[in-house]
Structure 1
């Protein structure tokens, strides 16, 4: 078959955690809407969760060129898969997924009997760097997808320079000392670096692994980032100096919603790995506008019972209404120790609502929600920005540390509570966000939300960048033999 006679065909390979799969599914649907064929190669566990708790199968059935395929990550289905075991996922992908992917791609691209349409390129999650070697082996262009913020990506890319300058690993205990990431010299501190950079040993495996990952990513044909130019323009300029084909096409959930806006019956596009408790929506319906602070620390973060109590007391003492997501696996300890204390649940009855998992995009858009106490994961941060909801940031790990600093000190969309968890601080920050400084934060949040709408609308930066990405994929298809 002459590949030029058919539409381009892209293979998308996400890292098997909730946030990354969620955003790459949204990218997949945007490509499908442009008439590009997509094979979404998911690991077994996230694919099982999507089939169990979302309508993803029905949503994508409308695209005849879309197909799901699965691959193993080497971990049993019952593996906890929280941040505490994050390196297990990394190791599983490296030792199991990587060789299986190589076999699959060689079979697909070199077999004359394979009935699947030929591939134009691979779009791989930035953490799936083995895809570079696979793509080179089978002669396909590799595009990396950045599921984190541009500012976090650029900080990670700068680690070799920080190591060479002696700023990483960290010596001494002055965590507020500034670090010299290009473009961030005046405000990025040691404590804002991800955990892998806040170490005192250059040989620490996590640090070395991060350096290798982001050196590999820079070898890609192109880079796609889930962000938008009005938010991260200066950092994107730094990245484009090294990778000119950098496409900022986000926020993807807002972009997809904008593309589907003309449809009369657009279904909810949840890509949840868990059953969503929608009882919180009627509860929100009964609350006054902008009166509720939404509390969620994402799909991976774990907390201690002491931290849980401090957060609870701070929320209750603030006087604000709150909707709090406490996952069944969110507490540190053995199964019997992970139960949320009964007195906390009982104490929420007056002004609070606690659920195990929530339909977050719907919650963030609800008129009753006026603030977000968040772990600063990138999807959550973007959802907050799109909804015009200011944030209190309590980051847990990885890119979240840098995101929280940008939210508070660059974008002025909230406050950074990192490395702190006591009831007095929580109470004060909630009062500031919801009462004392509400007008200031809401003004900044409304301005940025307006910028988002422009970026994903016709003629906007993300709209045009997506068009350029699609054209790039079509050109790659035309050049293929």
Structure 2
């Protein structure tokens, strides 16, 4: 175990061992591809399994980065609707589309893989939980299916309340409604206004969640990218409600030295720029690989960063701002006025940025991978969630773990400035740093031999070996 809590060795692979095969199928979005490939690496290295990845054509992974895996591409027809990705923010539309378009290509590919001569026994199929159609396919082929849930335990429990509320008016509340700030009875951590952020299509989301949860319960087991000490009460509820094995062996990315399966080229020059900044002085802003913001939000954010007087590193993906190619909507003389105080890049090596001593705060969209990475490096968060699990993660960060601030009213600069000052300048920020430092320590212990994540991995390897 090294000083950063990365697991270096769990089990030595003996040349004489007969390796079983595992077939994995990730959802073709960055936040789902990354943890699935990380899980594949963990099982290959520590479980002595041969790995085959079935993947969609859309957002195809770079196979050359994984010469020890076999990759099989299937037609997904996503290109037929991909041009709607920026303008249509109904995530369930894309998920339900993929669950229809991938059925036949996936089943044909799986049948071919199972029929391959002299390739060894296929122990099981591991699919993203959102690919709910794969349960019926695996049942038809008599192949055990496990699922990888790339969101938190808390998110899965909160989703359990959505099918009911999708049939009510609560998804459409406005600030003028008396229930807007009210708590959701079935999941009191959430406010009704959070439910409205989760999806723009309540009925579609309710149907999708029902399908996902039902097929998760019908699977042979669930793999979670989290650790027990972070979500212990939620794990107890999951264990009671889902009568199948659950394995909490995360965070996945900590099993190996920093590496990337990013679909966007990283700008590593900013690491030397960070070297010039004082400890905990710099705000890191990144809203993930699929979030989009309006030009108005973009300019509010830019003007605020220019006025706050703190160093900042801002990730702006090409096309992230509606109606812009990249940064042409920046306020006049923004770059000139900020000078060396700020840096804008198209993509950053996030693990290393968060681990850098100069980084004092992470302004994030609250995707689960980013949330875990921030906890791993002990960096408090400002949360600007947009959809799906993000509002749920933000509530946990601000109200349960108390390691960040949730910007509940969007891009209102007064609230943003107060959040930055709370974390970067006030005593409250020091308390957040201490709480997240304690979580980081628990996380590292969980990965060490005998820790909860280490034990869960060993149980998962043994469980798969029984198939």
1:253 alignment partner in structure 2: 253
Note if 1:447 corresponds to 2:459.
no
**Residue in 2 that maps onto 1:302:** 292
Mark the CA change 1:23 to 1:422 in structure 2 (over 3 Å): closer, same or farther: same
The equivalent of 1:362 in structure 2 is 352
Any conservation in 2 of the 1:41–1:68 contact (CA below 8 Å)?
Answer: yes
- What's the Cα RMSD here? 2.5
Q: Aligned equivalents of 2:82 and 2:165: distance in 1?
A: 35
Q: Are 1:285 and 2:298 matched, yes or no?
A: no
Secondary structure at 2:102's aligned position in 1? helix
5 Å-filtered alignment, 1:175-324, equals 175-181=180-186, 184-185=187-188, 187-193=189-195, 195-196=197-198, 204-243=203-242, 244-254=244-254, 256-257=255-256, 268-324=258-314
Return the TM-score normalized by structure 1: 0.86
Instruction: Map 1:35-54; keep pairs closer than 5 Å.
Output: 35-47=48-60, 50-51=61-62
Shift of 1:333: 2.4
1:464 deviates by 0.5
Structure 1: distance between partners of 2:325 and 2:306? 27
The residue matched to 2:58 in structure 1 has which SS?
A: helix
Answering whether residue 151 of structure 2 is matched by residue 148 of structure 1, we say yes
State the 1:105 CA deviation: 1.9
Q: Give 1:157 deviation, angstroms.
A: 2.5
Q: Distance in 1 between matches of 2:32 and 2:87?
A: 14
State the SS of the aligned residue for 1:120: strand
Q: What's the offset of the Cα at 1:314?
A: 2.1
Q: 2:76 aligns with which of 67, 73, 76?
A: 73
- Shift of the 327–198 alpha-carbon distance from structure 1 to 2, 3 Å rule, reads closer
How many aligned positions are there?
Answer: 443
Does the C-alpha gap of structure 1 residues 334 and 315 become closer, same or farther in structure 2, counting only changes over 3 Å?
closer
- Once residues 312 and 150 of structure 2 are traced to their aligned partners in structure 1, the CA distance between those partners, rounded to angstroms, is 28
Answer with 346-355 or 304-313: which moved more. 346-355
TM-score (norm 2): 0.88
1:92: Cα distance to partner?
Answer: 4.3
Deviation of residue 102 (structure 1)? 1.4
> C-alpha separation between the residues in 2 aligned to 1:21 and 1:197?
22
Structure 2 distance, partners of 1:471, 1:341, is 57
Residue 28 of structure 1: aligned partner: 40
Alignment partner of 1:466 is 2:437: no
Q: Which one of the candidate residues 102, 109, 117 is aligned to 2:107?
A: 102
Correspondence 1:139 to 2:142 = yes
Quote how far apart the aligned CAs of 1:75 are: 2.4
Is the contact between residue 73 and residue 89 of structure 1 (CA under 8 Å) also seen in structure 2?
no
Deviation at 1:296, TM superposition (A): 0.4
Cα offset for 1:121?
A: 0.8
Alignment of structure 1 residues 76-87 onto 2, 5 Å: 76=79, 79=82, 81-82=85-86, 84=88, 86=91
Q: Secondary structure at the match of 2:39?
A: helix
Contact 1:122 1:141 in 2 (8 A): yes
**How far is the alpha carbon of 1:351 from its aligned partner?**
1.4
Aligned partner of 1:391 in structure 2 is 381
Indicate the SS of the match to 1:348: helix
Answer yes or no: is the 8 Å Cα contact 1:320–1:351 preserved in 2.
Answer: yes
Task: Classify 1:77/1:328 alpha carbon distance in 2 versus 1 (closer, same or farther; 3 Å).
Answer: farther
Partner of 1:57: 64
SS at match of 1:76: helix
- Whether the 8 Å CA contact 2:173–2:196 is kept in 1: the answer is no
- Residue 218 of structure 1 and its aligned partner are, at CA, apart by 1.8
For the residues of structure 2 that align with 1:125 and 1:449, how far apart are their CA atoms? 27
2:22 maps to 10
Q: Deviations over 1:249-305 (max 9, x none)?
A: 111111x13xxxxxxxx5x41010001111211110111111001000000100011
CA contact (8 A) 1:196 1:210 kept: no
Q: Structure 2: where are the runs of 5+ without partners?
A: 1-16
Deviation at 1:428, TM superposition (A): 1.4
Instruction: Show CA shifts across 1:366-415 (max 9, x none).
Output: 11101100000000000000000000000011000000000000001111
Change in CA separation of 1:344 and 1:303 when aligned onto 2, cut-off 3 Å: farther
Deviations 1:187-242 (A, max 9, x none): 3211233635677xx6x223322222222222111001111111111011111112
Please name the residue that 1:260 is paired with.
none
Q: 1:118 aligns to what?
A: 121
4+ residue runs over 6 A deviation: none
